[in-house]
Structure 1
């Protein structure tokens, strides 16, 4: 039996705090298109889903499809502008970098499974000096996104790690559902877009209140115990 173990991380709301950047950029994109705006509580429900699948979920059923595409394109432009001019940042959560290095030192294989486009992933890796930390990077750019299990299945295939040695860590029910669909362990984190209650209701095997708690859970998982 292989000793390999794989920890897959979501990015937005899990490793990086992009909550205000995403919410305010989406609100601005809605207003730019003549809509009344979009609240944080609305936006947080769709973070993690591929953008052009997510936008229609925030709109009425009869909203024109081409209009939804325009909102998505406007959101991307506004998001990049707000990030570039320093209006909002995508800072690493306190404790995230330390945990990644601890896992790497302990022999874990690390990966990313995110609804963020690849250029957004590369920006985070560049901004925080994380290139080389992850052995597999999976985004919605290369195929169907969350909650479909594709990203997790491809990460396991790429690394050669079995499902029972793979754990997905995320802050949203979409992460949890993707993990369950891939038949791997699903660990929720309480500091992102979805509440602990929402994560538990989605079927998370565990929900962690901070990075120290998550580190203990991952240590237990690595030893073959419940995370």
Structure 2
């Protein structure tokens, strides 16, 4: 009898890569485009994970819809320019242990890996290319085709792509949006303690880890529990 397939979904920004420098710089350009005051850094990072059409009204509720659209376009242009200046590996470096963890999980025959991110398709493609992650993720869910997190659409589609049940799926992420999305989809969330939301905001997480070395043992414990 073959082993049951397991799906491990990853958020990107704040979970796999540290892109906060470019995010904050691109946000500065976005706010300057509409002559709006720039929120504090912590406020800017608090919305990472949300789709831009949700993030901008959240950060700048007093701006008009047209202004929000201008901010979104300015952000996208700035982010691409910043990334092009230094390259993906330097612009959005992988967190320590991330690559080793991904390769180790990929080597387990019954494990399938996937992405659920607020990034655009174009942005994710650039990141995968820049870090040589091609072939790692069998399902890739991006903001272009889904409602913003914490809506469960990304996880539900990923499970459908993989043919995997909720009990055999986990979502790994750094924000409350990731953990709320996991709960809404009926899967367990693994929070990481190195991203953009503090651990106390990850209340919906099944467990919070402090290092990528903890991920495989946590997965073993989760999936050894009675179904």
TM-score range, shorter chain: over 0.9
Corresponding residue to 1:191 among 179, 189, 194: 194
Cα distance in 1 between the residues matched to 2:102 and 2:210: 17
Displacement of 1:213 in angstroms is 1.7
Partner of 2:22: 21
Displacement of 1:2 in angstroms is 6.0
Partner of 2:175: 172
Cα distance in 1 between the residues matched to 2:28 and 2:147: 26
Greater Cα offset, 78-87 or 206-215 = 78-87
Cα distance in 1 between the residues matched to 2:152 and 2:173: 14
Greater Cα offset, 206-215 or 174-183 = 206-215
Q: Gaps (5+ residues) in structure 2? A: none
SS at match of 2:91: coil
Contact 1:23 1:39 (8 Å CA) reproduced: no
Partner of 2:98: 96
Displacement of 1:215 in angstroms is 2.6
Partner of 1:42: 43
Partner of 2:74: 74
Cα distance in 2 between the residues matched to 1:186 and 1:82: 32
Displacement of 1:222 in angstroms is 3.5
Question: What does residue range 137-216 of structure 1 map to in structure 2 within 5 Å?
Answer: 137-200=140-203, 203-216=204-217
Partner of 1:224: 225
Displacement of 1:218 in angstroms is 1.8
SS at match of 1:16: coil
Q: Cα deviations across residues 65-104 of structure 1 (Å, max 9, x unaligned)?
A: 1011101110111111111112960111110010011111
Q: Gaps (5+ residues) in structure 1? A: none
SS at match of 1:92: coil
Contact 1:4 1:165 (8 Å CA) reproduced: yes
Cα distance in 2 between the residues matched to 1:206 and 1:129: 29
Two-structure CA RMSD over aligned residues (Å) = 1.7
SS at match of 2:53: helix
Partner of 1:32: 33
Cα distance in 2 between the residues matched to 1:156 and 1:99: 21
Cα distance in 2 between the residues matched to 1:96 and 1:223: 23
Q: Cα deviations across residues 164-194 of structure 1 (Å, max 9, x unaligned)?
A: 0100000000000000000000110011110
SS at match of 2:86: coil
SS at match of 2:147: coil
Greater Cα offset, 5-14 or 208-217 = 208-217
**Structure-1-length-normalised TM-score:** 0.93
SS at match of 2:50: coil
Q: Cα deviations across residues 117-161 of structure 1 (Å, max 9, x unaligned)?
A: 001110111001111101100011112121110110111111111
